[in-house]
Amino acid sequence: MGVQFAVMNGTAPEYLWPGSRVDFELAFIYFVSVTSSLLAIFAQTFLNTRQYAPTIHKVISVYIGINILWIATTLLGWRDFTEPFRELSALSWPFLSMLSGILCWRRGYRPARYYVIAWSVPLAGMLMLVLAKMAVLEQNFFTLFGIQIGSAWEAVLFSLGLADRINLLRKEKENAELHAQTAELQARAAELQAQAIEAEDRRKSEELERGKQLQLSMLPEKPPERPDLDIAFSMRTASEVGGDYYDFHEDAAGTLTVALGDATGHGLQAGIVVTAAKSLFMALAPLPDIAQIQGDCIKSSSLTIL
């Protein structure tokens, strides 16, 4: 932008390329187009138009392409033909720039407010310069140097805007890190909870397996051998510990007492009932009278043995 101001003020040929035959008008068109393109790219970057104003972002990209086209047509010698369009393009940038900033500001992008305020004065100066070049306004100190005056104001506000943007990016980074840490902690907590549940399930399974083995140890391993009877048995529990119970007792006289039972439900409670029934049967089976066995069982534990 400094080179553009030097070209606009006529000091560039004197200090930057003294004695050169560079066409002043050609240099003016070139540096204005390059500066406009760079300003448009800066607007896209600073305002994050790709996210907050996608349509404006595309329009600015087209504007950049048009400026590149003006450079090419000028170098090819078509300056007279394209001059009205170049001036229209230069006149449209202040409005497009302000529209981009206001739109992004309204959509919640905080640094855009600094952009709008910072560009208000230099864009006004640019507008006055273009209108003065088109002979709409009289050329005076303000129309000729309005952009330089506004640029000094712009530099201060853009410094504030950049600082605000940096703070915003830092805050977004901190929030992202915090969310990542929170997600990691939640994942770790879920993993520990899953491990605890798995350990608890394994402990319960082991306890039930021990209960199953205990129940099986209380059942007879093989049926009694009787010449007058063929006896066989089998049990398959619905869960680890069932409520089925059977047992045999044969006294010295050859009397065979058989106990069959089914405790209500399944699981550990049913296994406890079976354990109690086993104890009662071992204690009462030697009695000769089955009715007495049933009565004693009822009195002892409210169990009925068939």
More confident residue, 292 or 116: 116
Q: What band does 86 get if pLDDT is binned at 50, 70 and 90? A: low
Q: Which two tokens stand for residue 64?
A: 């950049």
Residue 68 makes CB contacts below 8 A (sequence gap 6+) with 33, 37
31, with CB counted inside 10 A (0-12, 13-18, 19+), is buried
DSSP conformation class of 78: -
Q: Is the confidence at residue 19, as pLDDT, over 60?
A: no
Read off the pLDDT of each residue in 25-47 and give the average, rounded to a whole number: 77
| Cβ–Cβ under 8 Å, residues 36 and 69 | no
What are the phi and psi torsion angles at 286 (to 5°)? -65, -15
Please tell me the distance from the alpha carbon of residue 10 to that of residue 24, in angstroms, as a whole number: 8
Q: How high is the pLDDT of residue 203? A: 85
The conformation of residue 219, written as its DSSP 8-state character, comes to S
Contacts of 293 (CB under 8 A, 6+ apart): 257, 284, 285, 287, 305
Q: Label residue 73 by pLDDT band (50, 70, 90).
A: confident
Q: Which residue has the higher pLDDT, 244 or 9?
A: 244
Q: In this predicted model, which residue has the larger pLDDT, 194 or 154?
A: 194
Over 60: is that where the pLDDT of 18 sits? no
Q: Which of these ranges, 63-72, 264-273, 290-299, has the smallest mean pLDDT?
A: 290-299
What pLDDT is stored for residue 58 in this prediction? 92
**Mean per-residue pLDDT over the chain, rounded:** 75
The confidence band for 82, taking pLDDT boundaries of 50, 70 and 90, is: low
State the pLDDT at residue 59: 92
pLDDT average, residue stretch 287-300: 64
Highest mean pLDDT among 91-95, 107-111, 177-181, 212-216: 177-181
